[in-house]
Chains A and B, each alone.
Chain A
Amino acid sequence: MLLIEIFELLLLGVIGGGVFFWWRQSRAHRQNEALLNSKLVAVTQSSRQTGDNIAHDLRTPLTRLRADVEGALRHDDVEMHRATLERVLDEIQNMQNIINALLTLGQAEVGVMNVRKKTVNLSGLLEELIELYIPSAEDRSLTLQGNIAPDLTIEADRQLLARIFANLFDNELKYVPAGGTILLTALARGKRVEIRVEDDGPGIPVEMRDKIFERFARLDPSRTLSGGAGLGLSLVKAFAQLLQGEICVAESSLGGAAFILTLPVSAAKVSKLSPKSAVARL
């Protein structure tokens, strides 16, 4: 009898333990699922908003394309057809650029982009990028200067770093009026480096300073004056975050805008995340 009771107790214990374990697991699972769901909703909402913007940004060139092709088809002029096809190709290239930028942005923001960190000679890279952009700046009657502390090295991805500054310079060349000055300053601040790209242009109004890093944000609401899709600064921010850096915009002592990027000298190791863990990280 005693043996049977002990056996029954053991059985109950095992079943009870199993049930408890199952309950705890499923509660954790449910909580995890709820968290994932709420994050997925946020991602979906943000991508829906982005989708609306993409639709808007692609509809405009599509309208132009359609009108252009229909116009050409009403005539038999070979020269006119050729000119139309060349414009069509340009429009396709523009749309392709928007789509590529959005894909890159999506990958960077969700964290599925591989970051290849190595020791990078930051001072050298910045000098090289300035050298790459100086002739284009001079062509636009702009002065591009660097004030870079020597021997700055950081653990980072060289291509991502270069893309950050190329995008910032592209932005400066587009918005700083002829005769203006663009200055890049880089210096070490403890375990971080601070790089400022600033100018004596019209600057960015206080109320716009957070918004300019959002997708499709442009100071010019008609989106026609400056060209570009308004994705460059979103890319800058996403790349900076991939490198555990931060970027903000402030007023420059030169009178225009100052983009201030801080990056860790030696960043924590970030490996490629699976889309699922990337969602959990959001």
Chain B
Amino acid sequence: MKLLIIEDDESAAKLLGNGLVEAGFSVDLAHDGETGLRQARDGDHDLWVIDVMLPGRDGLSVLKALRDQGRRTPALILSALGEVDERVQGLRSGGDDYVVKPYAFVELLARIEALLRRVRSFGSGPETMLELADLRMDLLSRSVTRSGQEIDLQPREFHLLEYLMRHAGQVVTRTMLLENVWEYFFDPQTNVVDVHISRLRQKIDKSFATPLLHTVRGSGYILRVEP
């Protein structure tokens, strides 16, 4: 998977690039809007990471130019501004997701992986059944079983588990869960998400030998078979 990072702070771009290379991506860097636009247009990247504030041509205008040319590569917007307004503006300019600077690397990586996965599953039609090991979720009858045993979930718990199952094998952060399961674009001071996760874990993992829902320290959660 090949990514393009358009970020004017060279040292921040390099650090981010190193992290993404360590995570298994190949990475191109651009430090201003015009160069970024050219590289994005001429390259075959799977995803663009675009900073909003760039010298010369700003990130949103670069993205808009690319979208106007019919380029559909997923784009993740980086912005130092950090309010809902900018998020909406970023998404309107053709961004697929948005991260506020200064960001945690794990947050950015989780969102990149979620975006790439979304693109891969595009066009595969709506799923009616999600499965991971012996955990099965029927989206039509809205029922969940593990090893054939019925698990009773509240509507929100169902939604939470559905999001985790759709991103199985991938780290999801607290912020991603708040945005996608509760539709809140801010982080409360209380550990509300952690407590909901621990209740869900009680229901899907407690009476079974293999735990599926794991905490990734300092990052978030991952649903997978291996610990």
Binding site for B on A (CB under 8 A): 86, 89, 96-97, 100, 103-104, 107, 113-114, 116, 128, 131-133, 135-136, 139, 159, 162-163, 166-167, 169-170, 173-174, 228, 232
Highest count of chain A CB atoms <10 Å: which of B102, B188, B196:
B188
Chain A residue contacts of B188, Cβ below 8 A = 166-167, 169-170
Closest beta carbon of chain B to A161's beta carbon, Å: 11
Closest beta carbon of chain B to A258's beta carbon, Å: 20
Chain B residue contacts of A113, Cβ below 8 A = 83, 85
- Shortest 6 CB-CB contacts between residues of A and residues of B: A135-B195, A170-B189, A114-B85, A166-B188, A136-B195, A170-B190
Q: What are 23 A-B contacts defined by CB distance under 8 Å? A: A100-B82, A103-B82, A107-B83, A113-B85, A114-B83, A114-B85, A116-B84, A116-B88, A131-B156, A132-B196, A133-B190, A135-B192, A135-B195, A135-B199, A136-B190, A136-B192, A136-B195, A166-B184, A167-B189, A169-B188, A173-B190, A228-B189, A232-B189
A128 touches B182 (CB 8 A): yes
A166 touches B85 (CB 8 A): no
Highest count of chain B CB atoms <10 Å: which of A104, A132, A159, A228:
A132
Binding site for A on B (CB under 8 A): 82-85, 88, 102, 156, 182, 184-186, 188-192, 195-196, 199, 218
A96 touches B199 (CB 8 A): no
B84 touches A159 (CB 8 A): yes
Q: How many A-B residue pairs have CB under 8 A?
A: 53
Closest beta carbon of chain A to B202's beta carbon, Å: 11
CA distance A23 to B190 in the complex (A): 59
Q: Name which residue of chain A comes closest to B198, CB basis.
A: A135
Q: Name which residue of chain B comes closest to A172, CB basis.
A: B190
CA distance A135 to B156 in the complex (A): 12
Closest beta carbon of chain A to B182's beta carbon, Å: 6
CA distance A96 to B218 in the complex (A): 16
CA distance A170 to B187 in the complex (A): 11
Instruction: Name A133's contact: one of B156, B192, B218 (CB within 8 Å).
Output: B192
Closest beta carbon of chain B to A8's beta carbon, Å: 58
Q: Name which residue of chain B comes closest to A165, CB basis.
A: B188
Given A128-B182, A132-B182, A159-B186: A139 touches B195 (CB 8 Å cut-off): yes
B186 touches A135 (CB 8 A): no
B83 touches A166 (CB 8 A): no
Chain A residue contacts of B190, Cβ below 8 A = 133, 136, 166, 169-170, 173
